[in-house]
Structure 1
Amino acid sequence: MKRTIIVGTRQSQLALTQTGHVIRALEQICAEQDLPYNFEIKKIVTKGDKILDVTLSKVGGKGLFVKEIEQAMLDGEIDLAVHSMKDMPAELPEGLIIGAIPKREDPRDALISRNGLELSQLPQGARIGTSSLRRSSQLAANRPDFVLEPLRGNIDSRLRKLEDEGFDAIILAAAGLLRMGWEDRITSYLPPEICLPAVGQGALGIECRESDEAVKQLLSLYNDPDTAVTVTAERRFLNVLGGSCQVPIGAFAQLNPGSDKEAPAEMVLTGLVGSPDGKVILRQSMAGNDPLLLGEALAGKLIAKGANTILASTGE
């Protein structure tokens, strides 16, 4: 007798596309391992999906796109959930865990401009749409002349607003565009030196109940160790800072494989805390092997440089 695993997801086009990718990958694993599972999608509307006329920083930040889904899992209505990792709060509700972090898509931000101009080619005073304080802070630091305006909505509606509302360009996560097959819309990729990604950007988090041993075992076969360890470092950095969508915070970790294959690969983690206006940008990189210790240490470095002042002033 096959068990039907109910998969919870937001109902946006991107969320459903991502969930479809995950289910197909899990079905392939089940076929290879002869595991007795079927999968069924349950669409769930989150608070973040309902509030589209206010910037994320003004309506509560992290957790806006996951709380209702997590409650459905705790209530037994669904068995696992597919999230964009960058939407996940640093701490999960008791009883829930991230069972798998599959291989990461491109973590960078992407520029989509109306006239095919790259960032450096955009004219003085160009209107840029972005839903993220992290992006607007770094763009303001790079190009103080830009007029940065909030841009909410699903990925397809934001692309429409580029044309309909007179923006010169908008900034979106490259991963969503690539998963949708819309890479032809990307004018250019913003390097992390100009726009450091959000914590976990480009990665998916597959969440499940800690008590569900069968689902945990299945998800362990889908987990990508390299992605998991780098995202863990980024999330630990965020957790120590206690950051939310009300504060411009970015982090990106990369593995540098050592010559000794028996030794753990060294990781380089870069973190950033900025003021919303981009006038203060604190940025630091550190290397290490332990993701939790590295995330903590880097957060400590930025706190020592004054990050707490920014966190306190913008978190009020």
Structure 2
Amino acid sequence: MNSTLFVLASLDGLSYAALVFLVSVGLSLIFGVLRVVNVAHGSLYAFGAYLAATLSLLVTPISPWLTYPALLVASLVIGIVAGGLIERLLLSRVYGREEVLQLLITFAVFMIMDNLQRMIWGVQPIYAAEPLKLLPNVSIFGVSYTSYQVIVLPVVAVLALFGLRYFLRRTLMGSVILAVTEDREAATAIGINAQRVYLITFIIGATLAALGGALASPTTSLVPGMGTEMIVLSFAVAATAGLGQIEGTAITALAIGMARAFVIYLQPEFEVLVPYLIMVAVLLVRPEGLFGATKLRKI
């Protein structure tokens, strides 16, 4: 591999890792607090992408720069409306029930949303690249690359990481969430509304997934099934890091994103396998994940 391909692979891996992190950290947050494996997370990513593209196409004739607020609006709408409805109408009824029931419900939501996506937007590819085109390319070690992918996406991912850390560790609501995560019964006994905490947490996680989709919409054609690919990869990242680990998710997303990018340039036929080979290798050695902590099981 020459130096040009090395730089290209590194930049590809960085931009892809930023998107994967946004989706994976939302998935990890939801599991860490609610103890629910949300299979429908991929559909929230897809809906965020499709709504962002739709809004971008609508506002572009008015002003192309309005496409950037459109990305944020799309992620908030999907996170608050779709995420709130899923949590209130479905998940709130199965907390504490068998894990297989929770898994089946979120899988059913995933299937419903996947078909709803096809009904609303059809099956033809949608492409809304205006946010990508507005910003000039930058030259990095002699390689020209889009500043949207190499600057905007990583910056948003870093802001999301530190913003989430600050929220959970430095704010009252974050402390309440951590208290419910640690011991729901004790938190409820001192007057904390656990149901409200679950709702807020799910909306935050859903918004992060939708934000990942919204930011991805200018970089690729939107096609049916995009949510499936992302949810499987997000599970691989979250499981490799250790479910519920925020900082670990960032490091793992970067590692898997880089590995995938380099494999595309060196051995593209192994692109799909690499993230899962890494996951299997890690879980065989550390079943709790790279950054997960072993917990005693109550009997």
User: Given the two structures, how large is their TM-score scaled by the length of structure 1?
Assistant: 0.33
User: Given the two structures, how large is their TM-score scaled by the length of structure 2?
Assistant: 0.34
Higher relative contact order (CA 8 A, sep 6+): 2
